[in-house]
Amino acid sequence: MKSQKAAISVAFDQLLSLRMDMANFTADWLHCDQLSNYVARMVSHDRPDPLRHSNLLSSVLNELLEMSFRSETDDGELVCAFCRCREIERVELTFPCPPRQRQFYKDVVLGLKTRQVLASYLGAIANDSAPGDEAILLGLVVNYDAEVQLRDFGAGTLTFIVDLPLGKLLN
């Protein structure tokens, strides 16, 4: 992972924001795919290779939306903001999350900074009993060179902030 402070200190321009009631969002698993494809197409139109950019971004968004889908709560709102600063795409995903699950995510994100991420990722995808959300977050770091942050404002919600240098990825 690169320097978290570098990504935090620069100004990001918001390109798109969407809000959806969690009950409506969790009513159908297909919402994850539909929203990720829509957002990815909307914000990729001005990139040098919009189709490639949209495909990469859609994959990332789908994984994040599926994590929020599995939050096991229908109360509250799902909020997804998409921002950009030069070659860095930022996804800010806020959703209701029970305390136990929030703690799990905090532990995983802390681990992204303190352990060998590639080895942990390979172990997670090879182990059928490993939590899927852990493999997703590790995969974002390994496969997309993502920076992942977490904000917990209490009040039962959690925000993932994922910075993606998609324009710099070669494959």
Confidence of residue 84 (pLDDT cuts 50, 70, 90): very high
Burial 16-26 (b: 16+ CB within 10 A, else e): eeeebebeebb
Closest CA to 30 of 73, 62, 71: 62
Which pLDDT tens digit goes with each residue over 18-77?
Answer: 999 999 988 888 888 999 999 999 999 888 889 999 999 999 999 999 999 888 788 899
Q: How far is it, in rounded angstroms, from Cα 161 to Cα 159?
A: 6
The neighbour count for residue 28, using CB atoms within 10 Å, is 11
Report the topology of domain 4-168: Heat Shock Protein 90 (3.30.565)
